[in-house]
Amino acid sequence: MGDEHDMNDELDVELADELIARAATSLREPVATSAGFDARVMAEVRGRRSRPWLLRARTLRVSPIAGLAAAAAISAVTLLVPRLTTLVVPPVVSTVVPVVATEAARAAATVLATHAADAAGLQYVQFVFVAPAARKVAVVGSFNDWDTAKTQMVRGPGGVWKAMVPLTAGRYTYSFVVDGARWQADASAPRSVDDDFGAPSSVITVAPRP
């Protein structure tokens, strides 16, 4: 009886060790990162991103009706989220925005037309910030060297400021700079643990394209 019990214990131990060994072997299987991972890390390491698309601005021609329709679509999307927020907009939107009739859209169109070329791997992220009393607002972050001059936001109705930024998949920290002096994190986004440069900042993660 005792011998039988000991034998069962030994079998249990043997099976258990085999189980752990099999688990470890399975867990050692390689895991690949998504395409461009190294490049994204290095872009953030350098503190600036390579911007070949800046050098390839082009004029986009669309009909006024299509432009107005796109403007209406963008406004609708933005107004659905009146609080501070970020949106991912398909790149195709940029091809129709330049002919929008409104003042705000005209200014945004300049940025979009510049950024529209060679958009492989880029996703257009719209930053929105509500500040009716502000005279000017910029979005700064790890994607533009935290430079307050690089991405000025455009004021729209109701003091809704907007800027469209092309980003590859990855994690970015950012903040808004109001009137050139006041740094403000995005209240609707996760707060950066670092608060880079001692200023409040938020985190956005752009998911890889499916």
Instruction: Give contact residues for other proteins (rule: CB under 8 A).
Output: 15-16, 19-20, 22-24, 26-34, 37-38, 40-42, 44-46, 170-171, 190, 193, 205, 207-208
CB of 26 to other proteins, least distance (A): 6
Give the per-residue SS3 of 58-73: CCCCCCHHHHHHHHHH
Q: Which of 56/197 has CB closer to other proteins?
A: 197
Give the nearest distance from C-beta 188 to other proteins in angstroms. 16
| C-beta of residue 128 within 8 angstroms of C-beta of residue 161 | yes
Q: Give exposure, 18-36, as e/b (b: 16+ Cβ within 10 Å).
A: eeeeeeeeeeeeeeeeeee
Q: Are 167 and 195 in contact (CB under 8 A)?
A: no
Nearer to other proteins, 40 or 115 (CB): 40
Q: Identify which of residues 12 and 103 has a Cβ nearer to other proteins in the complex.
A: 12
Q: How far is the CB of 186 from other proteins (least distance, A)?
A: 16
Do residues 142 and 174 touch, judged by C-beta distance below 8 A?
yes
Instruction: Report, in Å, the least distance between residue 151 CB and other proteins.
Output: 21
